[in-house]
Amino acid sequence: MLTPALRDAAYRWIADDPNPGTRAELQALLAAALAGGAPGDAAAAELADRMSGPLRFGTAGLRGPVRAGPSGMNVAVVRRATAGLAAWLSGRGDGGRPVVVGRDARHGSEAFAQAAAEVLAGAGFAVHVLPEPLPTPVLAFAVRRLGAVAGIQITASHNPQADNGYKVYLADGAQLAPPADAEIEAAITAAPGAFSIPTAPARTVLDPVEDYLSRVASLPRGGARGLRIALTPLHGVGGRAAVHALSRAGFTDVHVVGSQAVPDPDFPTVAFPNPEEPGATDALLALAAEVDADLAIALDPDADRCALGVPGPDGTWRMLSGDETGVLLGDHLLRCGGYTDPLVATTVVSSSMLGRIAQAYGARYAETLTGFKWIVRGGPGLVYGYEEALGYCVDPDAVRDKDGIAAAVLAADLLAGLRAHGRALLDRLDELAAAHGVHLTAGVSLRTEPAARDAVVARLGAQPPQGWEIDRPAPDVLRLRRAGERLVIRPSGTEPKLKAYLEVVEPVTDGLDEARARATDRLAALRAEVGDLLQEA
């Protein structure tokens, strides 16, 4: 039912929307709601959902469906968000200084990037716009290279095709983090209607791609280059940059999945453009088997995440988990890097094996909350950070965020060196397990409403299960430990889910196969226990 308050709110938003397309979209929905009847009730419900915003700052910025209204991604929302960011920067004494604006190839990205750039220019900032749809790590690199006070990347990363987003980087080149997010959100709330926000043309084009590629090409530690690679950018913007980066690093035998090579905002060959999702890498692994590749690489659509696929002893291909790749790259960097007092970091929900690897090399180790906004702020001397969700920061001095392209080049370097000695990535994983114990991880999700999931966390925090030691890395995060096992429980930041992250550690005392079998059994038992625990709570 269309209430007077909802009707008036829609009228006000329409009057302030500077974009004819979304203005007409909301006008049509309002007219249908005003007509009444069953179709009118459905339109009123849709209108209420559109007007239920505003979008809130989550993972380093805004993310939501491309549609009209305050709860969607559209030009009006982007203008107000940018006006709030500009006001916050000016309040810190950074007015007039450089800001970089980039975008991916999703629906609306070009218009949203232009809207952000014009608002920043209207506020007096020196705006530098990237010349075309480019990977998110290129934007993060450009912020540090230019000495900008902020960067904005229009992207929804690996979200479904209906979404887009607005990611903010600060002067250190890292993602937006508290308390800046709340302060900027307050400035957005105080911003005028989008139609009233001053704008100006923004014409300065910045092309950092050559410098970025040169930096990434310098990452390999070894001299071996004999490697055949299959690669997919999953219809995103990372394919060309990844092929060029690999080529400059000496890896020229690269085969790209043809049906997924060109940026396409509809992601026609995958149900969900995330390398973690079942089926997303089927075409990649088929190509890898067809060309007899040594390594398969999947980037997510904005190329800040990287997934690796490898052939098993029987020739069957499989994707490595984020934790498997994470410890491989961390070990490679510490073994070959020649650092002075290095720090490596991961999150409280990732494998703890990285800590044991760091100890073996005399390196410092940190565990942070989830997200790269925390990982890259884990402490001085950071040389590497990763999270289990396929994110790897392998060159923090250049890109202070996850970088799928740089991770791909480093993974190729690692495998080429191993192959030169007749070994493979799975062999190296066996060696790490033998040295540090078998570490198995898994995730369990329970779909539930926010109030219910918060109640679960509160109950388990007040009455932890018998036999577990408990602490709170954050107010809404529980970490439980017992001998050789860890359980982390937290609410999802983007979905109505309660998430549990499981780990078991099994020492290798008799044989690796036997230790893996015991660890597998223990993980299955822990998964069942946790499932019951969450349902009971």
- Lookup: tokens for 312: 């098993």
Neighbours of 340 (CB within 10 A): 7
Place of tokens 């959100």: 185
Separation between Cα atoms, residue 54 and residue 119, nearest integer Å: 19
CB-based contacts of 240, cutoff 8 Å, min separation 6: none
For residue range 120-148, list pLDDT tens digits in order: 999 999 999 999 999 999 999 999 999 99
CB-based contacts of 197, cutoff 8 Å, min separation 6: 79, 80, 83, 119, 122, 191
**What DSSP designation does 73 have?**
B
Closest CA to 140 of 113, 106, 179, 100: 100
**What DSSP designation does 495 have?**
S
pLDDT at 537: 47
CB-based contacts of 423, cutoff 8 Å, min separation 6: none
Neighbours of 168 (CB within 10 A): 22
CB-based contacts of 410, cutoff 8 Å, min separation 6: 219, 220, 329, 332, 333, 392, 394
Separation between Cα atoms, residue 329 and residue 409, nearest integer Å: 11
Beta strand 126-129 with 61-65 is unpaired
Q: Which long-range contacts (CB under 8 A, 24 or more apart) does 435-438 make?
A: 435/360, 436/353, 436/356, 436/357, 436/360, 437/353, 437/356, 437/505, 437/506, 437/507, 437/508, 437/515, 438/505, 438/506, 438/507, 438/508, 438/512, 438/515, 438/516, 438/519
Percentages (nearest 5) of helix, strand, coil residues in the chain: 40, 20, 40
pLDDT at 493: 66
pLDDT at 190: 96
Cβ distance 302 to 135 under 8 Å? yes
pLDDT at 536: 58
CB-based contacts of 325, cutoff 8 Å, min separation 6: 306, 307, 308, 386, 390, 392, 407, 411
* Residue numbers annotated as active site: 157
Please give the chain's pLDDT, 537 residues, in tens: 899 999 999 999 999 999 999 999 999 999 999 998 988 999 999 999 999 989 988 768 999 999 999 999 999 999 999 999 999 999 999 999 999 999 999 999 999 999 999 999 999 999 999 999 999 999 999 999 999 999 999 999 999 999 999 999 999 999 999 999 999 999 999 999 999 999 999 889 999 999 999 999 999 999 999 999 999 999 999 999 999 999 999 999 999 999 999 999 999 999 999 999 999 999 999 999 999 999 999 999 999 999 999 999 999 999 999 999 999 999 999 999 889 999 999 999 999 999 999 999 999 999 999 999 999 999 999 999 999 999 999 999 999 999 999 999 999 999 999 999 999 999 999 999 999 999 999 998 888 877 778 888 888 888 888 899 999 998 889 999 999 999 999 887 666 788 999 999 999 999 999 999 999 999 999 999 998 888 754
